Amino acid sequence: EAVGPQEYTALKLKVLEWAPEAKKAVADKLPQGADAFFVPATLRPETMYGQNCCFVGPKITYGVYKVSEKEYYIITERAARNMAYQGVFPVNGVYEKVAEVTGADCVGTLVNAPLSIHTEGIRILPMDSVLPTKGTGVVTCVPSDSPDDFATITDLAKKAEYYGIKKEWAELEIIPIIDTPSYGNLTAPFLVKKLKIASPKDTKQLEEAKELAYKEGYYQGTMCYGPFTGEKVEDAKPKVRQQLLDSGGAFAYSE
Ligand code: A2H
């Protein structure tokens, strides 16, 4: 765990189509024409091209917070409280909750993810290891570069029926984004295989894989997708982040 404050990039994933239970709990309570956004917090904005689903904790209760008449964010109450002091909502220190929904009820919702190659939208899917006490409680999935994400999406596809999801929701293409000298251009799948990680429950090996992937990707990685192809990850990371902020597809969030 880092000592200083974590500088996250909070992405705005706009809801395109609600899962039935979430529609009842959320959509039916919003004004006509309003947009709702799932807001994952990430430390790896340079990987956002590869988002292929977005995770919520199935047992976590999320709030739906009003940003304006037209915009609502789906995040944990803890994150809303923090954001209220970071200029995210109209009045400093104030956050207005208009509805609540469990992660489980959101599963299957279709969202648009900024920069993702999957322009047709990606699905909200369950991840048991999402912590309610970190970030926004929403985690966007980049299986090429996050071992946790790859292990989870693999498990979801394998046991789609058990999880009550459509298999194809967990089978969107995984593309190379960062090339590394040690692990090739699909770092997370490579490390998951190498460390013989069989499921998201192999937490000890996943912790090790996460360390290795992060160090190699950040210090040795070169972009192999997007406008900064050929640049070092260290250099590309702030540029991709700035593009996301400038486009309105994301905002800064720290804790
Ligand atoms: B990262 P740190 Cl490609 N529970 O984003 C569990 N994990 C969470 C979370 C929560 N509530 N909130 C954020 N995270 C994840 C991308 C990524 C991330 C890649 C590779 C590694 C990686 C795509 N998922 O993180 O403890 C988010 O996943 C490994 C460090 O604050 C976020 O960045 O350092 C990261 O953990 C924040 O973790």
In a domain, 16, yes or no: yes
Residues 6+ apart with CB under 8 A from 212: 183, 191
150-185 confidence digits (pLDDT tens): 999 999 999 999 999 999 999 999 999 999 999 999
Q: State the pLDDT at residue 188.
A: 98
Judged against a pLDDT cut of 80, whether residue 68 lies above it is answered with yes
In a domain, 248, yes or no: no
Q: State the pLDDT at residue 229.
A: 98
Rounded CA separation 131/233 (Å): 27
Judged against a pLDDT cut of 60, whether residue 2 lies above it is answered with no
Q: What is the CATH number of the domain that holds 219?
A: 3.90.740.10
In a domain, 240, yes or no: no
Q: Which of 3, 11, 44 is the best mutation target for the ligand 1 pocket, counting ligand atoms within 8 Å of the beta carbon and taking the most?
A: 44
In a domain, 251, yes or no: no
In a domain, 247, yes or no: no
In a domain, 201, yes or no: yes
Average pLDDT over the chain, rounded to an integer: 97
In a domain, 208, yes or no: yes
16-37 confidence digits (pLDDT tens): 999 999 999 999 999 999 999 9
Q: State the pLDDT at residue 3.
A: 67
Question: H helices within 97-218, ranges in order?
Answer: 103-106, 147-158, 160-163, 187-194, 203-215
Distance 167 CA to ligand 1 centre (A): 24
* Crossing angle (nearest 10°) for helices 203-215 and 147-158: 130
The range of the structural domain enclosing residue 143 comes to 7-228
Q: How many domains does the chain have?
A: 1
In a domain, 103, yes or no: yes
Q: State the pLDDT at residue 4.
A: 79
Distance 31 CA to ligand 1 centre (A): 32
176-204 confidence digits (pLDDT tens): 999 999 999 999 999 999 999 999 999 99
